[in-house]
Amino acid sequence: MEKASLSILVIEDDLEDYILLRTYLSRATRSQFELSHAQSFQDAMKYLVEQSFDIILADYFLDGHTATDLFKHVKLIGIDTPIVVLTGMAATELDDVLMQLGASDFIPKDELTTALLERSIRHAIERKRAEQQISQLIKRDPLTGLGNRLIFEEHAELAIARAKRNKSRLAVAFLDLDRFKNVNDTLGHHVGDLLLTLVGKRIQDAIRASDFVARIGGDEFTLLLDNVQDVDSLNAIANKVLAEVTRHAVLDCKHLEVSASMGIALYPDQGDSVSELMRKADMALYESKKQEGSCHHMVFSDSLQARLQKETRVENGLHQALANNEFELHYQPIVELDTQRIQGVEALIRWRQADGKLLLPGEFIEEVNRVGLIGDLGEWVLEAACKQLRAWLDNDIDLTMSINVSPRHLRQAGFDELVIEAVKRYQIPEGHLMLELTEEVFVDSGISSLYVLNEVRKVGVRIAIDDFGTGYSSMRYLKSLPIDRIKIDRCFVSGGGGAHLSDPMITQAIGFLAEGLDLELVAEGIETPEQVAALKAQGCQKGQGFLFAKPLPNSALLELLNKQPSLVSGEA
């Protein structure tokens, strides 16, 4: 039987020991060896850089260095060759240390024999091959056959080191399938798996030979784009990848329209470590998914970083504001136009920041929606308004309370139960709490919202459509809606800036509509007596605006009521 041929680098500065070792190896019966001899540490490093070997046999002491230095340098230059250490010292003194460093074996020179040496070499090589096979399995995605996160990060580390030496640029990209969950839910996980495999192949077909792709979990892929010139070339690569990935697919006889998004971070512009580039690519991916439509990509930039930092500060501030009770309600009186008596108020939220600055809703509500806190804030408003209303009623101040409800909060599970529980806990009389909703609630939410509103009306809560007339389908829905009040939007009342109504024809039409449907009519944004007179002539019963009072904190509202007690009425 032909002997296996193995290449060995012998690192030994004692010539006699080297000759003895060569003699032992020449007597081997199962293998034949091709030896290279390094007599100094520097020679050894040169050999390792220029050639590859099946195994290294190294003296522990060499030219002022030790095997510890050897292991450090070998690891540094990325060599994974098994190493057997030979020494004249007792085995027990160095055994544990060398095994921790990664030595495949440790043999005292006075115990050397041909059989022992041959067996040690064979076992070291076989063990290393087994480790490499296991490592490949660990670093591969079993579904697509692509690399996984572990091997991607290894590739990226090496690529960054290479780019640093060459003063070149590279990019890390995240690619995520849009609405992939729908594929699994409607067509089954088998089709979902086929789609992931197909997408992996399409990405490989679209990128260059020097690039690398991995699947790091779910429907998320990462790409390492080497030697990228600039953002324009990145955009070209991203467009090519997305065009390939999103081609129509037929899987298991099922037709699929594929959509994907990408986020990209550039080295060294956006970071010099794998973790930082991956984090920023992921952030860019998240932003790209916010874009209208599908198949978008975004390259991380300083402006995006600044915006995200601002959003993070605002988000943290909102959480703290809720925890620290920094929000407060101001109340704008709603008056009866005939008598100008105050019959109720609209509760309007304000954010009083730690520095005393008072923010209006327009300065923070969009961020509240973005970070998903609209439900928490809406719950706070409901609680604060009901608590204040109860306090007024206990002090014989008989007002109605109107609060604004966002469409997103209304659609959250349990909204009706939240309102009903608050009404019962604070013993709010029938007709004293009103929820104000915009028209989009009824247009976009449909039957589910109607059910919720009907439930809260059962406990005496009234419903108003706010900013009426600005929606595109108002008239068609009115007859079937569970509503009690229409509020004319301020743009039809005082939007023109003059003393008279901005759009008297619209306000008159809304007045006719409210009368025909037996709905209460309230005008917003009243600023002049002329507007009051015109609205009364058109059948509008109530109104609010700066002519009567701006939104006031509770203390100021009470002062107004005390000065004009005749303006307080318990009529709803």
What are the structure tokens assigned to 98, written together? 């060398």
Q: What is the pLDDT of residue 442?
A: 66
CB 81 within 8 A of CB 56: yes
Residue 517 is classified by DSSP as T
Do the Cβ atoms of 27 and 114 come closer than 8 Å?
A: yes
pLDDT of the residue at 91:
54
pLDDT block averages, 10 residues each, the chain of length 572: 75 90 85 87 88 90 83 80 82 67 83 88 84 69 87 92 92 93 85 92 93 91 92 91 92 89 93 92 88 82 82 83 93 93 96 90 86 91 98 96 93 92 97 90 65 93 85 59 90 82 88 89 93 93 94 95 60 42
One-letter amino acid at 98 equals: L
DSSP 386-398: HHHHHHHHHTT--
Give CA torsion, residues 533, 536, 540, 541, to 10 deg: 110
End-to-end CA distance of the chain: 105
How high is the pLDDT of residue 261? 93
- 3-state DSSP of 251-268: ECCEEECCCEEEEEEEEC
User: Among candidates 535, 463, 548, which has minimal Cα distance to 506?
Assistant: 535
What is the per-residue pLDDT for 398?
94
Q: Is 408 helix (H, G, I), strand (E, B) or coil?
A: helix
Q: Which of 255, 92, 91, 226 is nearest to 161 (CA)?
A: 226
The CATH label, of 1.10.10.10, 3.30.70.270, 2.40.30.10, 3.20.20.80, for the domain at 149-300 is: 3.30.70.270
User: Dmax of the chain from CA atoms?
Assistant: 119
CA–CA separation, 144 and 454 (whole Å): 51
The structural domains of the chain, with segments of one domain joined by +, span: 4-138, 149-300, 328-349+373-566
Give the C-alpha separation, 520 to 548, whole Å.
19
Q: Identify the CA nearest to 294 among candidates 252, 338, 245.
A: 245
User: What's the pLDDT at 445?
Assistant: 52
Q: Are the C-beta atoms of 330 and 551 separated by less than 8 Å?
A: yes
User: What class is the 4-138 domain?
Assistant: alpha beta
Q: Answer whether 149's CB lies under 8 Å from 214's CB.
A: yes
Burial of 545 (0-12, 13-18, 19+ CB in 10 A): buried
Q: Kind and range of the H or E element at 232?
A: helix 231-245
Radius of gyration of the chain (CA): 38
Q: Could you tell me the two tokens for 548?
A: 């009567």
Residue listed under structure tokens 């015109």? 534
Give every CB contact of residue 344 below 8 A, 6+ residues apart in sequence: 333, 334, 399, 400, 401, 402, 434, 572
- How far is 33 from 207, CA to CA, in rounded Å? 42
Q: How many CB atoms within 10 Å of residue 25?
A: 20
CATH architecture label of 328-349+373-566: Alpha-Beta Barrel (3.20)
Q: How far is CA 556 from CA 274, 355, 566, 569, in A?
A: 57, 22, 17, 18
